[in-house]
């Protein structure tokens, strides 16, 4: 899979790749609301750390996590310093990672030449235009994983799992919503993930569901 190396030759992290996928190249905005975007990016940080071997688990069915020391000089390594010391639940990790994460990931993408930022102005929001070649490459990998029901590339499997967690499959791929979700579930539930990844994805799903429920209640009461 294309590792998303930008103008400076640094491989993109999983939260950066997820942001590229979630950014709409037509509108320059994320395809899901801010709460779900933030939680998905936080989950991507945990998945990336797990992929680096930097998340230990205590071996229980609903594991606690612990950050292990390791090198790094990117947005994931930087955000890892915000995680609790000692053992923690994935839910707490997601909560600790959210503040400022969206902006940090976008800044990293701009610096890496993977996203162009259009500043906002009076009554106008800033917009971010993703590298469409990279985005199309990533989505081709996601589509192939959904078609085959499996993903040999752990990062593609991670992207599928996080898209499934925030119910965004149909927002980035063409196809029937129910069919896309079922295929994404098969990948997300596959044996590619270890305990730390499974815990992170589960908490992103729970947080996204809570955010969607809060939005629905707010909408019905307005």
DSSP for 161-179, written as a single string = HHHHHTT-HHHHS-S-HHH
Tell me if 37 sits within 8 A of 102, measured CB to CB: yes
pLDDT tens-place string over residues 100-151: 999 999 999 999 999 999 987 766 788 999 999 999 999 999 999 988 776 6
Across all residues in the chain, what is the average pLDDT?
86
* pLDDT of 72 above 80: no
State how far the Cα of 70 lies from the Cα of 53, in Å rounded to an integer.
9
Confidence of residue 221 (pLDDT cuts 50, 70, 90): very low
pLDDT at 93: 93
* pLDDT of 152 above 80: no
Tokens at residue 108, please? 């990293």
* pLDDT of 188 above 90: no
Tell me if 57 sits within 8 A of 63, measured CB to CB: yes
List the Cα angle 22/200/103 in 5-degree steps.
Answer: 40
Q: Which residue, among 19, 23, 52, has the nearest Cα to 197 in the 3D structure?
A: 52
* pLDDT of 163 above 70: yes
pLDDT at 216: 43
- Domain residue spans of the chain: 14-221
Compute CA distances 163 → 37, 112, 158, 208, whole Å: 10, 23, 9, 11
User: Mean of the pLDDT values across residues 163-176?
Assistant: 93
Comparing 126 with 211, the larger pLDDT belongs to: 126
User: Mean of the pLDDT values across residues 42-55?
Assistant: 92
Q: Which residue, among 155, 210, 162, has the nearest Cα to 185 in the 3D structure?
A: 162
pLDDT at 211: 63
Alpha helices in 54-194 (DSSP H): 75-80, 90-97, 101-111, 132-148, 154-165, 169-172, 177-188
pLDDT at 115: 96
CATH class of residue range 14-221 = mainly alpha
Q: Beta strand 127-130 with 115-118: parallel, antiparallel or unpaired?
A: antiparallel
**Which residues, 6 or more positions from 190, have their beta carbon under 8 angstroms from its beta carbon?**
150, 151, 157
Tell me if 50 sits within 8 A of 73, measured CB to CB: no
């Amino acid at each position: 899979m294309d590792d998303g190396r930008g103008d400076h030759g640094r491989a993109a992290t999983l939260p950066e790749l997820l942001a590229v996928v979630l950014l709409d190249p037509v509108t320059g905005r994320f395809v899901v609301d801010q709460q779900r975007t933030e939680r998905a990016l936080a989950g991507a940080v945990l998945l990336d750390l797990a992929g680096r071997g930097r998340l230990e688990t205590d071996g229980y069915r609903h594991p606690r996590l612990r950050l292990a020391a390791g090198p790094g000089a990117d947005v994931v390594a930087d955000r890892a310093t915000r995680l609790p010391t000692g053992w923690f639940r994935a839910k707490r990790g997601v909560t600790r990672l959210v503040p400022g994460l969206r902006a940090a990931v976008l800044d990293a993408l701009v610096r890496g030449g993977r996203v162009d930022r259009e500043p906002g102005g009076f009554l106008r929001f800033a917009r971010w235009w993703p590298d469409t070649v990279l985005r199309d490459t990533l989505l081709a990998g996601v589509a192939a994983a959904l078609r085959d029901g499996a993903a040999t590339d752990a990062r593609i499997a991670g992207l599928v799992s996080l898209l499934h967690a925030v119910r965004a499959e149909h927002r980035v791929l063409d196809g029937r919503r129910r069919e896309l979700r079922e295929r994404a579930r098969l990948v997300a539930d596959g044996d590619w993930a270890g305990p730390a990844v499974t815990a992170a994805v589960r908490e992103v799903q729970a947080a996204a569901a809570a955010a969607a429920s809060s939005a629905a209640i707010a909408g019905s009461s307005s």
